[in-house]
Structure 1
Amino acid sequence: MTLPRKLMVDGEQTVATTRTHVKVLFLPVVILLAVALAGGFLAGRIGDSGNGVPRWIVIGVAVVLVLWGSVLPFIRWYTWTYTITNKRLVEQKGILTRTGRVIPLSRINDVSFEKNLNDRILGCGTLIIHDASEQAGLELRDIPHIEDIHRTITGLVDRAHGGSDESI
């Protein structure tokens, strides 16, 4: 899911689009498996007792738990994107109500990243971007291929500030 062309300004091109690392979906997958296992076991154990109504109650509760604990987090993860263009950094998130934050590259003062042990193993990290505004710095957590994204943004910021980095 990239930045729609209608949201771009003249001469703007997408350089990279990413979302958080898939590791954030670990707990929703565990919830899905646990609810499916428990719901299937209970539905089979109850059987047709009481005209099958208890079994449908168990199935209904399982479906609600799967929707709330697995499907909703997946949709939230899928719709939360970070797009780097040759002019700005755009964060977009939301399912029904879309919100976003746009930081022009020319206003970015500092780009840094952090990786703990788990992040190093999984190849992701947190990107921290400070800009020339009153707002707190933007922390992009669990970004895959953090070194590549850091290098890309640093080169683009250098170019936006009048540097001569031609490697991007």
Structure 2
Amino acid sequence: MALSRKFMMDGEQVVTTTRTHVKVLFVPLVILLAVAFAGSFLAARAGGSGDGYVRWAVVAIAVVVVLWGSVLPFLRWLSWTYSLTTQRLVEQKGILTREGRVIPLSRINDVSYEKNLNDRILGCGTLIIHNASEEAGLELRDIPHVESFHRQVSDLVFAAHRGSDESV
């Protein structure tokens, strides 16, 4: 889900859009598989006892657990994006209620990244952005190909700062 054209300023272009690494969906996948296995096993064991009410109760509980433990986290992951444009960094998230955060590139003071061993194996990391208004940096966790994203942000920040120095 890229940044909508209606939210962009004149002359602004999207450089890249990303979301967190797919590794955040590992636990929801395990929940889906475990509930599917346990639910089908228990529904088969219940058989036709009690006019099938037990079987339907097991199926209903399994559906609720799958929706809560797998579908909802997937929708959260799908709707949470980071868009880098030629003028700003935009974070958007939310399924029913959308919220966002915008950091103009000209206000960014420092861009760094961190990768632990798991991140190095999976090819992701945490991008840390310090801007002029905060002491604690904004941490974008589990960004795929974090070095490439870091390089793109840094290049655009340097260009934004060069442009603001020339206008003074």
Give the TM-score normalised by structure 2.
0.95
SS of residue paired to 2:139: strand
Q: CA deviation at 1:137?
A: 1.6
Distance 2:42 2:56 in 1: 11
Report the counterpart of residue 88 of structure 1 in structure 2. Answer: 88
Report the counterpart of residue 145 of structure 2 in structure 1. Answer: 145
Q: Percentage identity across aligned positions? A: 74
Q: CA deviation at 1:135?
A: 6.3
Q: CA deviation at 1:32?
A: 0.1
RMSD value, Cα: 0.9
Report the counterpart of residue 166 of structure 1 in structure 2. Answer: none
Equivalent position amino acid for 1:139 in 2: E
Distance 2:152 2:159 in 1: 11
Equivalent position amino acid for 2:56 in 1: W
**Residue 67 (str. 1) matches residue 67 (str. 2):** yes
Distance 1:134 1:112 in 2: 15
Counterpart mapping for 1:93-108 below 5 A: 93-108=93-108
* Stretches of structure 2 lacking an aligned partner (at least 5 in a row): 164-168
- Which ranges of 4 or more aligned residues in structure 1 deviate by more than 4 Å? none
Residues paired across the two proteins, number: 163
SS of residue paired to 2:66: helix
* Stretches of structure 1 lacking an aligned partner (at least 5 in a row): 164-168
Distance 1:40 1:16 in 2: 42
Q: CA deviation at 1:136?
A: 3.2
